[in-house]
A and B are shown apart, each in its own frame.
Chain A
Amino acid sequence: MNGQAWLLLLEGAWTTLWISGTAIAIGVIFGLGIALVRMARIPFVDQLLVLYISLARATPLVTFVLFLFLSAPTFGINMNRNTAAIVAMTLNTAAFNAEIWRAAFLSFSREQKEAALACGMTSRVFFRRIMLPQMISSSLPGLVNEMSFLIKGSPAIAVIGIVDLTRVTNRISAVTYEPLPPILAAALLYMLIISILLKLQAMAEKKANRLAM
């Protein structure tokens, strides 16, 4: 492998990172929104969301990416590859994130709410100042864990022809006829990315435990 190949690999890593990063950023907020709507228990909407979460958790990302990319044009929606990949990954990760956020909601102590209301806070102020900061610390380990799962699932976007860190190995070996070195190098890059996330998760856990004490 020469410098050119490494450059291609880094480009692939960048593709993987920015697509997953966008999906993660939207997915975390989307998940919070879903959890909030579910906590409101609106009759019909609630069942619909349960169905969505159940389906999204059971569908493999590969299948979902293919489904979205191939069937969107039949509904008259024109999506390019990157958008389809981001939408699919976002919808996938949002379902998992919604469950994480919901667990944080359900385990939130009632005393704090009563205390805040007694101090004259409106429920909106209470949510923003008291509840959300604590929920973020307590659900961060789970969210970071879900992020590393999403990165591990991200090679699925290769199936619609995006040249991500996995797919780029094919492209390099098509020139060099030596598939082993680029695959090992890509594995090394994945290891680097995911170990950073695992490290972050350990740090987040330490912080969440301190809060719990």
Chain B
Amino acid sequence: MTEWSILWDAREIFFNGLIATLGLFSLSIICAFVLGCVLVYQLEDDSVLSKALRLLINLMRTLPFLILAYLLYYGLPQLGLRMSAWTAGLLALIVYHAAYFAEILRGCRLIMPEGYVEAAKAHGFTPLRLYLRIVLPQLVIKTRPLLGNQLIIALKDTAFLTIITLQELTAAANSVQSTYFIPTQAFVVVIVLYWLISICLELALKRAARFGAKRGFDYV
């Protein structure tokens, strides 16, 4: 059992990694979600901007996350824009997942009954208020399972950032295993931590489902 006691001594590395992963994850999904909602609002009317945004969203859907991170971290310095691993990783997570959130919400917006929108317009809602009060809440409640899936994908995508030298949970396991040479135990700890985080996310989503059911939007 000496390996486990070594791991216990190295708990600070894991703890820092966990904090980094959780920080990256929560900060990026909050920003990505807000950005995604803004994108969908921009897509409401048919303008040149919305066409360009559609193109951008489709572009993101065909790219692996790591390529975007590479572009920001290794590619942009050539244009004189140098970012730390943290900024680049966070920015990549935000942009990438905002596109996916926007795509999920847009898919639901397309099949939303127009009656709500017309009724709200007749009541004199301005476009922004109409979007914030009528359209967006319904979209979010209805697309909850898909948004939840995307959250778990976002959590897993944070692990990619270890490749661009960001010190998060996977990097912590890697540094512990290379120092003490106990790869199995170090990675088992980290995999269990990822598992626990995603279980917590799923429980939170179930709770959200109950909220949606109470409002009559959803079936549990």
- Inter-subunit contact A152/B74 (CB<8 Å): no
Instruction: Select the residue from A63, A155, A184 with max chain B CB neighbours within 10 A.
Output: A63
With a cutoff of 8 Å between Cβ atoms, the chain B residues found around residue A169 in the complex are 70, 74
Q: Does A209 contact B (CB under 8 A)?
A: no
A159: chain B residues within 8 A (beta carbon):
162-163
Q: Give the residues in chain A near B195, CB-CB below 8 Å.
A: 54-55, 58-59
Contact indicator B160/A60 (Cβ below 8 Å):
yes
Task: List residues of B (183-208) whose CB comes within 8 Å of A's CBs.
Answer: 183-184, 187-188, 190-191, 194-195, 197-199
**Out of B64, B76, B77, B187, which one reaches A155, CB within 8 Å?**
B64
Q: Which of B70, B74, B156, B174 contacts A66 (CB 8 A)?
A: B174
Residues of chain A lying within 8 A (CB to CB) of residue B167:
none
B74 near A63: Cβ-Cβ < 8 Å: no
Q: Are A183 and B71 in contact (CB under 8 A)?
A: yes
**CB contact between B66 and one of A155, A180, A191, A198 (< 8 Å): that residue:** A155
Q: Tell me which residues across on chain B come within 8 A of A191, comparing CB atoms.
A: 59, 62-63
Residues of the A chain whose Cβ atoms lie less than 8 Å from the Cβ of B183: 67, 70-71, 74
Residue in A60, A61, A173, A195 whose Cβ sees the most chain B Cβ within 10 Å: A60
C-alpha gap A194/B63 in the complex (Å)? 8
Q: Does B177 sit at the interface, judged by CB under 8 A? A: yes
Residues B187 and A190 in contact, CB atoms below 8 Å apart: no
Given known A60-B156, A66-B170, A154-B64, contact A74–B70 (CB-CB < 8 A):
no
Contact of A152 among B64, B70, B159, B190 (CB under 8 A): B64
The reply to whether A187 and B67 form a contact with Cβ atoms under 8 Å apart is: yes
Contact B78 A195 (CB under 8 A): no
Give chain B interface residues in 145-161, CB to chain A under 8 Å.
152, 155-160
Whether A62 pairs with B62 at a CB distance below 8 angstroms is no
**Complex: A93 Cα to B61 Cα, angstroms:** 19
Question: Of residues A58, A154, A159, A187, which shows the largest number of chain B Cβ atoms within 10 Å of its Cβ?
Answer: A58
Docked pose: A70 CA to B188 CA in angstroms: 12
Contact, CB under 8 Å: B66 / A67 = no
Measured between beta carbons, the chain A residues less than 8 angstroms from B159 are: 60-63, 156
Residues of A within 8 Å of B128, CB to CB, are: none
| B191 cross-chain contacts in A, Cβ below 8 A | 55, 59, 63-64, 67
CB of A63 within 8 A of CB of B173, answer yes
Chain A nearest CB from B149 CB (Å) reads 10
Chain A 154-175, CB-CB to B under 8 Å as 1, else 0, gives 1110110000001001100100
* Interface residue from B75, B79, B177, B194 paired with A60 (Cβ < 8 Å): B194
Are the C-beta atoms of B74 and A170 separated by less than 8 Å?
Answer: yes
**Cβ contact of A166, chosen from B61, B66, B194, cutoff 8 A:** B66
A57 in contact (CB, < 8 A): yes
Chain B residue at smallest Cβ distance from A179: B74
Contact with A along B128-153 (1 / 0, CB 8 A): 00000000000000000000000010
Determine if B14 is an interface residue (Cβ-Cβ < 8 Å). Answer: no
Min CB gap A171→B, angstroms: 12
Q: Report if B65 contacts A (CB, 8 A).
A: yes
Question: A18-32, CB under 8 A of B: which get 1 and which 0?
Answer: 000000000000000
Bound complex: CA A74 to CA B170 (Å)? 19
Q: Are A58 and B199 in contact (CB under 8 A)?
A: yes
Q: Which of A57, A66, A190 contacts B67 (CB 8 A)?
A: A190
Chain B, 105-145, contact with A by CB distance < 8 Å: what is the 0/1 string? 00000000000000000000000000000000000000000
Q: Given A66-B173, A67-B191, A166-B66, A61 and B156 touching (CB < 8 A)? A: yes
Closest A residue by C-beta to B160: A62
Q: Are B194 and A180 in contact (CB under 8 A)?
A: no
**What would 7 more interface pairs be, CB under 8 Å, given A60-B160, A169-B74?**
A58-B195, A66-B173, A66-B174, A67-B183, A155-B67, A180-B75, A180-B78
